[in-house]
Each structure stands twice: as structure tokens, then as C-alpha cells.
Structure 1
Amino acid sequence: MVQSIGGIAKYSATDLDRLAQQLNQDGICIIPSLFEQKLIEEWAEAFEKLFRERQNQPGGLAPREVARYYLTLPWVSPFANELVFANPVIMGLLERVFYQEYVMVQLGVDVPFQGSDYQEIHRDFRPLFSDQIVTPLYALAVNFPLVEVTAENGPFQMARGTHVLLREEGLKKVASGEIPMESFYMQPGDVMVRSPLALHRGSPNRTNQPRPMVVMGYAMHWLHTPKVELTLQRDYYESLRMEIKQMLRCQVAEELPKEKVETYVNFKY
């Protein structure tokens, strides 16, 4: 049973087992109230400043169709927070569904603005071999919003269970209504863990405020992930515990680059 201590939910081993079962079955699960509101507010304020800076840099934002963007977060405060990227609840869930060692490969934000539209239904990854062979959970996206996600500001939409179907079969079931394209509404502090193989899309933001959604990517240690990257400053990297260093697939630099050119542009399969 999930308990709340000081307004923050605490998760038992039984809770994590249930979430892992749901993730395997549906391709998605929600962990309510995992992060404190103060943390979300700090991230939201820092993100707003960062986005304005990136807007003025050539290639500083990756387009995600009309009025929708993606940007990589720099590994600095408040984003470089071990309580987020190595959160014990998230790690406990990942350890239940990944069969081997895993690494973190991505830290970014997806943000639709007013004027955005429905994305084409897609997957973020290809199957390991072919659609004919059911692919285990070899990569996962961990998302959390920096604002409340409502029906009006562009909720993430996904068809449950399509991560284990042939792509064309899943699309037919969605088109017929047999499997609904479900909207996921979230409160600040909630965390979503999902399979990138499940059929999904972004929906329109009809409000005059952006809807930033953080994405942390984790994958089996052998998976090649050329489209996303992490860069850590050496002094910060050296301060981390060995098990955290081993979990991060990253470049280590003496100083972080002043400007970032986004390379994660092609994202649909």
C-alpha cells in the first residue's frame, strides 16, 4: 500500500512489484507524487530561463513538428540531481523490468506550445529484431511534467499494450477503436514510466502556456543510442559514487559547452 509521509508518497516493494507488472503488461505506469513540489518549481523556473536562451541559439531547439520542441538539459543544478536521475523508487522499478545492467542515456524536455497539433502515431524505437519477435523492455522513458497536465495543454497519449504487438496490428486496433488512444493527465510530482515501443503521440496544447515534460532515457547497457547524449563536467562526474558513474553513459568534459546544437531530430518509427 502506498503511504504518504510529509505529503510525499512512499513506495514499498509490493508497490514496485505491482508497478513493474503493470509496466510489462500495459507498456506504461504512473508513480504518483514521487517528487516534492519545491523540486518541480525549481526545475520549472530553471527550464523557462534555459528555453529562452536556447531560442536565441542556432540549432538550440530540436523541432517536433509545429509549435513543439525538444531540448537536452545541461548537467548543472537543479537538473543534475541524483535524487531525480537515480531516484531509489525509479531505480527499484527499472531493476524489476530490465534483465541486465542498464544505463541512463538521455535527459531532455519535450514542450508543446499553443498552435501544436496531434503528432502522427509512432514509436520512439524499432523492435530489437523484427515485429514478429516480441521485444522485451530493453529501453524505457521516464517522464515527469513541470506543470499540471490537463486535457487542454497537450497530454501524452498512448495505446496500452501495443508495445508487444506488430506495429501494423497495433495501428489497426487503434484505428478501429479496439484499443483506445488514452490521454494521461498528471500532477506536478507524478512520474510516468513507459516503453518507447508502445504506439503514442503528443496532443495539441490549446492554452497560452507551454507544457514542459522532462524525459529521462534508460536502456540496456548494450543498446547503441547515437541520437541522445549526456555530457558531465569532470569535477561533478568525479564526485559521484562508482555505481552512479557506471549507470551514466556520458561524455566527460573539463567544462560544459556554452551552446548546444540539438541532434535528436528524427524520433518516429
Structure 2
Amino acid sequence: MSTAKTASDTGPDQADQIAARARGLTKAYGSGETTVLALDSVDVDIIRGRFTAVMGPSGSGKSTLMHCLAGLDAVSAGQVWLGSTEITGLRDKELTRLRRDRIGFMFQAFNLLPTLTAAENITLPMDIAGRKPDAEWLERVIETLGLRDRLRHRPAQLSGGQQQRVACARALASRPELIFADEPTGNLDSRAGLEVLGFLREAVDELAQTVVMVTHDPGAAAHSDLVLFLGDGRIVDEMPDPTAEAVLERLKRFDTIRLPDAPRRTQAHETPES
């Protein structure tokens, strides 16, 4: 069983420190001889108010882990909680409402609507839900992300970095319990990527948000408080206070260090998620 637990190990009185957690989380694709085990009985706690990065080789299960924690993908076995709410077994309607109200998402593709202004894209999820944004909080997010003079622009009038900042503001606007970012700098040049990572760091430090980011970039991971390393669908290591150099060195060891009882995954390249 793979494990990355911290606050919950100290007792139930600190359960409010956990933004999300999984126990025995297993995800399999296919059946019979073609089964691919993307996640293999993972135990993990995501600490509230921290920036956690998830890394690993292609096919290690990192995006699958994020999707299962976010309720975007159904689990094959095990349990997942957002705060004190168990999301495994929720009906689709309940799960949709939970994701809308309590989780923010950032993706490599910015997913902005081209016909809407930046301001309209930022508040779109709340508009769909029929909720008014907290004006004071929204102003703080806009100022933190430096979007004041871009609010009336449509996506085509924005640079890639500016578009991702709008996507970041949209993820933050409803003040979610947890923000999931899947390769958020993947389509950006190095300068714009650093800006977005800086904004995510500020969201944690200045706005008390909780961020989980899947990335393949050691430099990006160095902005986090903790890196979880996945291999063969298991958490094989973790690194607090990472540096880009230390992360890169750890990634180099994946070819030489494997769990002795790790299942053979001959069709890992067919796994839908990385």
C-alpha cells in the first residue's frame, strides 16, 4: 500500500487540517488480461493551506490521482473525501454540485469561452450556479493576479500567460476548498509559466488557498511545499520544501528504483491518464 499521510496520523482532533484524503484508492482500466492498474491502493492526505505537487513518469498515475480526488473520475475501490464529505458513491448531480461549489480547476488548456470577457469568464461558474460572488474576495483575487486592466478583454486579446491568469482567477473566485491544477504551465513560455506559478504560490501564502498541481517540471514543483512522487500507481516518495535540483535528482532514480512487489503493467502506455 502506498502512503503519504501527515496531519491525520496525529489524531482526529486535526482532521480539519485535511482538505482531501483517500484511503485504499484504486483505479483500474479494462478487464481480464488487459487490465491496467493506474492507482494501486493509495492512501494520501492533502493538507489544507499548502501547495502540493504530484510528479512521476508517464503512466505513473499522477493525473488519475488528481481526477479521482477531484471527483472527475470514478474509483474502482477505496474511499475519497473532500473535507469531511465522502465523495465516493455520490450521485452525479450531487458530485457536480460539489465540484462546482467547493473545487476550483486549472487545466493546461485554459478553457476560456472566447465570446466572454475576462471578467465574465472569471465569474462564469458562479453565474451558472445562480450565485453572486463575494465582491471583496473577487477584488482581492483580481488585484493579486494583476488583472485589473484586462477585465474587459476577450481571450483572443490576451497573451497565453494572461489567459492562464484569468483561468487562475476563475478557479479562485468562488473561494474553493481546493484547487486542482493539471500542468497549468504546459502551454506557456518560461516567463509566463513562472508568473502563473508565482500566482499559485501567492494564492496559498496570501489567500490561504489549498493547491494540488500535477506537473512534469522540476522547476514548477519547486514552488510547492511538498512533492508526492508516483510510480506504478503508488506513492513511492515525498519531498518537503523541494528544490528544482533535488526534484530532478529524485526523478532520475525512477528507472533504477522500483517497488519489489509492484505489479507488472505491460500496457501502461494505454492508460487514459498519465
TM-score range, shorter chain: under 0.3
Larger helix fraction of residues? 2
